[in-house]
Structure 1
């Protein structure tokens, strides 16, 4: 069976507290509440969100995500932590780091160095994309 890797995408999200301590209410969630796509229920305290897959429920502490196409959906904290990191954090793996570096180079004057259609290939400790190569750093644990 073929295996697939999730593409690195940037999303917007906030953690719903479910109480008066909620300090972050992005405009997109306020607009969804006004449209009636997001509703609140007291017993048990939940937020319901109309999604393309049907109505989904969020509990206090869950993350509320706005995806790449503007879709809104809840995510449990453990799944969120395993799937996302802050956009300004260093990437978790070499492939993501190289994709970010290639994107930055493409947007600068060094466009000729990186062909956008170039795949990233790995040979031993080296990763190659276009005319560039990068050696994987070794941590003290390896």
Structure 2
């Protein structure tokens, strides 16, 4: 049986925080104004966020990371999985 290793891939990601104007502005900057308008739905009362992915609409909870995949797709990742899978390669702001 053959074994395979995942290729190292650098991704861009931000951590979703509480609903504030700064967090919305940073999210828009991260994914772009058009993508934000088309693919993001923010729920201020619950600090929730929904993102339309290529296959469905997914919920993002406070503390989840939003990852931009290698094809430009967006998807959430729970913090414990993110921290086991990825390591920071630069010192830019990682949270919104």
TM over 0.5: yes
Q: Give the Å deviation of 1:29.
A: 4.8
Partner of 1:47: 49
RMSD in angstroms over aligned alpha carbons? 2.3
Number of residue pairs aligned between Structure 1 and Structure 2: 88
- Residues in 2 aligned to 1:79 and 1:88: alpha-carbon distance in whole angstroms: 19
The higher-RCO structure (CA 8 Å, 6+ apart) is 2
Partner of 1:79: 81
- Residues in 2 aligned to 1:29 and 1:61: alpha-carbon distance in whole angstroms: 21
Q: Secondary structure at the match of 2:17?
A: coil
Higher helix share: 2
Partner of 1:62: 64
Q: Give the Å deviation of 1:78.
A: 0.5
Greater Rg by CA: 1
Unmatched tracts of structure 1, length 5 or more: 90-142
Give the structure-1-normalised TM-score.
0.53
